[in-house]
Amino acid sequence: MNSYERLLLENKAWAKEKLSDDPNYFNRLVDVQSPDFLWIGCSDSRVPANEITGTQPGEIFVHRNIANMVVHTDLNLLSVLQYAVEVLKVKHIIVCGHYGCGGVKAAMTNHNFGIINKWIRNIKDVHRFHREEVDIIPNEEAQLNRMIELNVQEQVLNLAKTSIIQKAWKERQVPDLHGWVYDLHDGLVKPIYEMPAGTHIDEIYEFDDL
């Protein structure tokens, strides 16, 4: 059996199990999704949003990319964000990074990774903003861990800089923004940065006409 065929077999078993637990399981989900959460996470296969939060299909709207970035020219992210905020009306947005993130690790080197350079260039900027704090940490692993936390913090700030979030804050006082880091060693999430709806940011980023 090819490895991918195992996925199809597992899918059949999963669907059967769900139906045996609750014959209406799929019927309930088919017509409507009303998740309270948007998850912006790393593509890393070890950090699956639903599993680590114990949530079911229908509960979290998910966007994942390398190193859980919020990049203002990324139409994919912006489309997900607009849909989540304006149509699904999520109450919370979670940016979840993880210790040991290869994307952040790569950004901290001088290696040329080809097209990925353009993506992780944004993480190099995070290092530049926080160089004074990060560069004095004596241990390389601790430096990387702190960069992973600071990257999450900067991506939460990037969300707050968008007109989509500012408009929602002004009109409806939602959503709250949360920055979390997942630890691969013990499976636990550490909250590291919070921006409740309506938080003021550096005024240069605040739009006056929303």
Catalytic residues: 42, 44, 46, 98, 101
Nearest-angstrom CA–CA distance, 182 and 53 = 11
Residue 95 CB, nearest distance to Co ion (Å)? Answer: 12
Q: Is 42 in the site for Co ion (CB under 5 A)?
A: yes
CA distances 146 to 68, 119, 128, Å, are 15, 20, 13
**Residue 46 main-chain phi, psi, to 5 deg:** -90, 0
State in angstroms the smallest separation of the CB of 98 from Co ion: 6
- 175: cis peptide before it, omega within 30°? yes
DSSP for residue 17? H
Nearer to Co ion by Cβ, of 98 and 174: the residue is 98
44 binds Co ion (CB under 5 A): yes
Does residue 126 bind Co ion (CB under 5 A)? no
Write down the residue that tokens 């097209």 correspond to. Answer: 115
Nearer Cβ to Co ion, position 123 or 174?
A: 123
Please tell me whether residue 168 binds Co ion under the rule CB under 5 A.
Answer: no
Cβ nearer to Co ion, comparing 169 with 193: 193
Q: Does 154 bind Co ion (CB under 5 A)?
A: no
